[in-house]
Amino acid sequence: MIHSNSELVTAFSAKLLNMDRLGAEEIINNSQKNNTPLQIVEGLVVPALEEIGKGWEEGTVALAQVYMGSRICEELVDLFLPPSSSERSSQPRMAIVLLDDYHALGKMIVYATLRASGYELQDYGRLTAKELVQRVCDDSIEVVLISTLMLRSALQVKDVKTWLLAAGSQTKIIVGGAPFRFDPQLWKEVGADEMGATAGEAVTAVENSMGVVA
Amino acid sequence: MTMSSMQRVLTTLGHKEPDRVPFFLLLSMHGARELGLSIKDYFSKSEHVVEGQLRMLNKYRHDCLYPFFYTPLEVEAFGGEVLFYEDGPPNSGTPIIKKKSDILSLTVPAVTETACLVKVFETIHALKEKVGDETPIIGVVVSPFSLPVMQMGLSAYIELLYEDPGLFNKLMAVNQQFCVAWANAQLQAGATAICYFNPMASPTMIAREMYLKTGFQVDTQTLSQIQGPTAFHLASGNALPILGDLAAMGTAAVGVSCLEDISALKEGCRNKLTIIGNLNGVEMRRWTPSQAEKNVRDLIAAAADGGGFILSDNHGEIPWQVGEETLQAISNAVHKWGNYSQE
Ligand code: B12
């Protein structure tokens, strides 16, 4: 089993950083002989994406590499763990949204990373705070991931929280995006339950809130 | 002897200590608040921006005028759409380059005949009439290398950059021609220097090796054709790994992020580049006056010695949500702690 094989993880993330899709695919194919799809996701893909995300936060990895890496992983994982696969975790019931903002890349990366990590979630695209609260209630969403790039959008999470509470919803809110990275206290101020500085941290945040939801 | 803002800034750019630390409060939208206008109305007339800038210069006693409207103005010049908000900076709307082949038919707007740009020239001209050579007027352009994010969207641009060098070069040629004309026309209207925004050059966005192969060439050529001093602003993207590359391009100053260590930045820039920065603009909305004073004082202690330092926020624009009290506190703190002869 590849669990805790850090050499393989490093080799795999090197392929991703070089945007070498074929090389990354070869490593996955070789691992498939001795591992189940979920073992590959948890032992190889998630740690590699986490490593890349950490590198970005520390300034050693560029965003272009984060983006291309997450896209490659999403595609590769779809090959052996198709969207309809019963092995994918559709729990908790999740959705991701760009809140009244036009900068979609952060959301795209987080979405691809969560899917490459074996989760299924709805992509709500871009919505206003009002529209989001309506959708979350209609779909009985348990965890909502909110991405923003502009400060004015980040501040609107406050409204989402207030209106969700008013509707009697217990939905957990996970936030991320540049304003939350620049002001580490902002997520608390706007009433979020978790914040992730990178897409890799989105996976951890989902795991954390699962404990709470369950 | 008390220096004029211009003398103060030129002295620090020459890596010498002026009378006190020069500081730029890079305020754009706040002018609307001064005039009691919506952000959209405020930017619809050059007279508003002139009045707003002069009032803020007087109020905050800082060292520049900033006739910057908003970066999507440049896509507006290319025929793109701008989205205005009540409580934040305008954003670019639907990309003008919807598919890669649209690049082939992209043409360079004639800067002196494009209404939205003419507003900026008028603003600069009127400000120059008022302040002459007393106060620097900072014009703004977006680098040809960063503009495509607003012309086509970031993900499509990253894919172009990595996968289609031919079309990338074509786009750079158009953007470069535009950028040079736009910068030089601002200088001609009376701007003292050009702030060249280019966060795509930052290692936050692309790896240095990739930058050296692509944007670095474009920026070097573009900067060499701008007929005045420039500051290379990374809009709060990281700078440390590329400081040497920036200095090699012949730019005078660099706008740096609060997410990097200021002492390391100071060492990397000493006698090569003037630092512009690096107060945390996003966090600033929560600062009390005493926090503002402490942050200014710490920053001056870490970065001001020997000159080569202009105190400012780290993005090149202070968010709308930052209140007047905080801005006053920053200004008071620079006037109190920024005196070089005190040390
Ligand atoms: C590159 C850049 C630009 C470029 C391109 C921007 C773009 N994407 O369109 C240019 C030069 C065009 C630009 C312009 C402007 N910019 Co700008 N820019 C940046 C910069 C340096 C990087 C932004 C970026 O695209 N990052 C890439 C994305 C993918 O990163 P991200 O959103 O942080 O996402 C990552 C994580 O945060 C996380 N994540 C994201 N979402 C989520 C969600 C969840 C749930 C989780 C867990 C994690 C997560 O995962 C992602 C990958 O790891 C930032 C500062 C910085 N250092 O971050 C400023 C910044 C975003 N810009 C800002 C502003 C204000 C502007 C302008 C409005 C300025 C103006 N007045 O014109 C314009 C508007 C442009 C437009 N599109 O209309 C501000 C926004 C905050 C604010 N003050 O309101 C920032 C934060 C700068 C600052 N420090 O204040 N900008």
Q: What is the mean pLDDT of chain B?
A: 96
Predicted local distance difference test score (pLDDT) of residue A214: 40
| Residue of chain B whose alpha carbon sits nearest to that of A65 | B206
Q: What is the pLDDT of residue A14?
A: 94
Residue A140: its pLDDT value, please? 94
A7 class by beta-carbon count within 10 Å (0-12 exposed, 13-18 middle, 19+ buried): exposed
Confidence of residue B317 (pLDDT cuts 50, 70, 90): very high
The fraction of chain B above a pLDDT of 90, given in percent, is 95
Q: How confident is the model at residue A112 (pLDDT cuts 50, 70, 90)?
A: confident
Q: Is the pLDDT of residue B73 over 60?
A: yes
CB contact under 8 Å between B204 and A62, yes or no, is yes
Above 80 in pLDDT, residue B341? no
Residue B234 has pLDDT above 50, yes or no: yes
Query: Which ligand 1 atom sits nearest the alpha carbon of residue A175?
Result: 45
Q: How far does residue A151's CA lie from ligand 1's centre (Å)? A: 9
Q: Looking at residues B184-191, what average pLDDT do you find? A: 98
Nearest CB to B319: which of A59, A61, A151? A151
Cα(B199) to centroid of ligand 1, in Å?
10
Least confident of A4-13, B12-21, B30-39, B166-175: A4-13
Ligand 1 pocket, B151 CB below 6 A? no
Give yes or no for residue A55 CB within 6 A of ligand 1: no
% residues pLDDT > 70 (chain B): 99
Helix axes A199-213, A105-116, angle to 10 degrees: 60
Residue B112 gets which letter from DSSP? Answer: G
Does B53 have pLDDT greater than 80?
Answer: yes
Model pLDDT, residue A61: 86
Give residue-wise pLDDT tens across range A167-206.
999 999 999 999 999 999 999 999 999 999 988 899 899 9
Six-digit token pair at B101? 């082949």
DSSP string, B305-325: TTS-EEEEESSSS--TT--HH
- ipTM at complex level: 0.94
Q: Report the pLDDT value the prediction gives residue A90, as an integer from 0 to 100.
A: 67
Is A105 within 8 Å of B88 when comparing Cβ atoms?
no
B223 touches B230 (CB < 8 A): yes
Supply the pLDDT for residue A209.
84
User: Could you write out the DSSP letters of every residue in B42-103?
Assistant: HTT-HHHHHHHHHHHHHHH--S-B-----TTHHHHHTT--EE--SSS--EE-S-S--SGGGG
Residue B7 pLDDT greater than 80, yes or no: yes
Class of domain B5-342: alpha beta
Distance CA B316, CA A92 (A): 41
State residue B121 phi and psi, 5-degree precision.
Answer: -60, -40
**pLDDT-based confidence at B207, cuts 50/70/90?**
confident
How many residues are present in chain A?
A: 214
Of residues A54 and B99, the one with the higher pLDDT is: B99
Distance A178 CA to ligand 1 centre (A): 6
Residues of chain B contacting residue A153, judged by C-beta atoms under 8 Å apart: 88
B184 lines ligand 1 (CB under 6 A): no
Residue of B nearest to A109 (CA): B155
The H-or-E segment that residue B247 falls in is: helix B243-248
Q: Residue A82: its pLDDT value, please?
A: 78
Amino acid B321: pLDDT: 98
Confidence of residue B47 (pLDDT cuts 50, 70, 90): very high
For the stretch B119-141, pLDDT in tens is 999 999 999 999 999 999 999 99
Compute the distance between CA of residue A207 and CA of residue A202 in angstroms, rounded to an integer.
9
Question: Does B241 have pLDDT greater than 50?
Answer: yes
Q: Which domains does chain A have, with CATH numbers?
A: 2-86 (1.10.1240.10), 90-213 (3.40.50.280)
* Ligand 1 pocket, residue A69 CB under 6 Å: no
Checking if the pLDDT of A143 tops 90, the result is: yes
